[in-house]
A = this chain, B = another copy of it.
Amino acid sequence: MAKAKMLRSCPVAAFQKMISGKYKLRIVWDLKDGPRRYGEIRSGLLRGTDGSSEITPRVLSRELKALTLSGLIDRKDYAVVPPKVEYRLTRKGKSFVPVIAAIRDWGERHLSEPAALAEAAE
């Protein structure tokens, strides 16, 4: 496991890579309350950033695939017509929820200050 050795020295870098992508964290967060369908996730992401830009299917699809590869979420295809696909957190994904909670918590306390807004809202 040569690759593992390199990464083990910095789990933060691995985390960064895992959640890179504009919506990954929010998708996991949205899934914490239970399984959701593709379209539900999509509309759920409409609220949040600024409410203006909608996520395109291409991007959402990619993020979902990446999250699946990371082992955070699981895809369940019901193979019916019309199609129905559900995404839900894996055990690993569930274990990650508290981390996002910590992030949210901190963000709510510190990211409403002027300095943060200047940077974050641009």
The chain A residues found within 8 Å of chain B, CB to CB, are 1, 3-4, 6-19, 22, 25-26, 29, 47-51, 66, 69-71, 92, 95-96, 98-100, 102-104, 106-113, 115-121
Contacts and interface: CB of A to CB of B under 8 A. Distances in A.
If over half of A's interface residues share one DSSP class (helix, strand or loop), that class is named, otherwise mixed; here it is helix
A102 B102 CA distance: 8
Copies in the complex: 2
Contact of A18 (B7, B13, B16, B120): B120
B111 A15 contact: yes
Contacts of A70: 115-116, 119-120
23 contacts: A3-B117, A4-B112, A4-B121, A6-B51, A7-B112, A9-B47, A9-B51, A10-B26, A10-B48, A10-B49, A11-B104, A12-B103, A13-B26, A14-B107, A15-B106, A17-B120, A66-B119, A69-B118, A71-B113, A95-B109, A96-B106, A99-B102, A102-B102
